[in-house]
Amino acid sequence: MMMKLADLIEENVEEIAALDAVNGGKLFTLCKAIDIPGAARTLRYYAGAADKIHGTVLKMSKGLQGYTLREPIGVVGSIIPWNFPTTMFFMKAAPALAAGCTLVVKPAEQTPLSALYYAHLAKLAGIPDGVLNVVNGFGETAGAAISAHMDIDKVTFTGSTEVGRKIMAAAAASNLKPVSLELGGKSPLLIFDDADIDQAADIAFRGMFYNKGEICVASSRVYVQEGIYEKLVKKLVEKAKATVVGDPFDPQVNQGPQTDKKQFEKILSYIEHGKREGATLLTGGKHVGQKGYYIEPTIFTDVNEDMIITKEEIFGPVMSLMKFKTMEEAIKRANNTTYGLASGIITKNLNVANTVSRSIRAGVVWINCYTAFDVDCPYGGYKMSGFGRDFGLDALNQYLQIKSVVTPIHDSPWH
């Protein structure tokens, strides 16, 4: 049934891509090329794992025979965000289904359309009624009800740290259900003097401005070693000024609108904070056009770790550029954050790459690349970026619990 659902998603890629573009301002071309096909791949990956869930045989120290079973945790509440509605839907649903769980999915109130369409396709694929359920509503009501419900056995959530705390509290106050949280980020990208300037500029720009900056792992804090700083700044400003902002259905457009008015106004308020705190606005920072929630790609320099734009997750197209001298300084500054979701390193020096990757406290470290996601690679955060992992077999295990079965062996010759 999961394989059939993957086939149906691919057959309806145009319609689903249009739903996500209309709902969230995402680029139609990227939804069609990346997000929707990625959902089908995720389903097939976990469908392939569904019949490979095994326990272990135990070597007991007494006259006992023992083994473990991995059993479905039960009913899963999945609360997903608005920035990647399709990706997040199946990042949670596919491993839960493969584990044998049933789900109640609450999409973000800003982007409910594709989730409803997936429920329709699930029925066409033969998934029984009650196995994959979509419930629309606001976080304060529907999300809170899922978190506190006594008959829900686990909650998985992607979103803000603030809401993650509320979900943990509700889970603890109800039936002590386990939770897994993928929360905010303020991810550092460290670019060393030996980096190829053009490659580094491409990686840094895509890492920050992909999906109009509405991405948890956005490389919003870019640290550049002083020897190449000026050259890299020039390249990034050129890229920002060349970016076409507009209609997400126009194939010539590089950046669509922010998801809604609230997010649009929040981003602009952070830009004003940056200017008031003394950061230098190199480019961008303004509303594009007379209507719609379009914001220019924005780059600040003369930024320090005490500024709000460096400490808080903006979730929009705003990059902070900072200069460093030594590797030790870069590591210290990169770790000077309450978050720990992702990070990046650009260098040709293997020793530098190894040292930095082991020193940064983050769930993902990308070397000479960024946003290099794969369904087989676990993804999740350190510190206030949450706990638990999506993707890979680690995600599958989050929806399973271990049962030990023990039988006495009387008159065993081995004991």
Catalytic residues, by residue number, are 182
| CA-wise closest residue to 216 among 168, 161, 264, 166 | 161
By the 8 A CB rule, do 104 and 147 touch? no
The C-alpha atoms of residue 129 and residue 42 are separated, in whole angstroms, by 22
Distance between CA 4 and CA 43 in Å, rounded? 9
For residues 284 and 78, what is the distance between their CA atoms, to the nearest angstrom? Answer: 36
Comparing CA positions, the residue from 320, 371, 298 lying closest to residue 83 is 371
Report the candidate in 61, 10, 1, 63 with the shortest Cα–Cα distance to residue 33: 10
CA distance 382 to 186: 12
The distance of Cα 77 from the centroid of its chain, to the nearest Å, equals 18
Give the separation between CA 315 and CA 108, rounded to whole angstroms.
16
